[in-house]
Amino acid sequence: MARLGNITFACEDPAALCAFWAAALGYEVQEAPPAFMEAWVAAGRDPNAAAAAVDAEGPGPRLYFQRKTKSVTSTIPIHLDLNADDREAEVARLVALGATVVETTTRETGEFTETWTVMRDPEGNGFCVQ
């Protein structure tokens, strides 16, 4: 069975977007080993073209950011859903980190009610906070 290795983001500024998501999720920026970076640069690759963040606790997926043109969509067909004990406080924290609020939606299904806030990270990638 396959395992999730990375969640990969195409972006303009890998280091900045990596720092945002590391702070948003309590992740740590992953430094590449010096020997890897030497080989990367020797192969003619831009040392600022990629960045990664890993879960400080260990079990979460690695987030990988690569400088690459991304397709523009008006919807967010694949996105991260973040769960928080206090959605409004988490939204405020993420806004302070550079995210923007798109909208907050509440849906009722019978006796069940769920509310989430649609947001965009500093490069416009959509995500939700529940």
What letter would DSSP give residue 61?
P
Supply the pLDDT for residue 72.
73
Supply the pLDDT for residue 79.
87
Supply the pLDDT for residue 2.
62
74-130 CATH: 3.10.180.10
Mean pLDDT by 10 residues, the chain (130 residues): 83 96 97 88 91 92 91 76 95 98 94 94 93
- Tell me the Ramachandran region of residue 57: left when phi exceeds 0, alpha when psi lies from -120 to 50, beta otherwise: alpha
What letter would DSSP give residue 51?
E
> What are the angstrom distances between the C-alpha of 17 and each of 46, 107, 130?
17, 31, 21
Per domain, the residue ranges of the chain are 1-70, 74-130
- How many CA atoms lie less than 13 Å away from 88 in the CB half-sphere? 0
Supply the pLDDT for residue 129.
96
- Structure pTM? 0.86
Supply the pLDDT for residue 84.
95
**Third-level CATH fold of 1-70:** 3.30.720
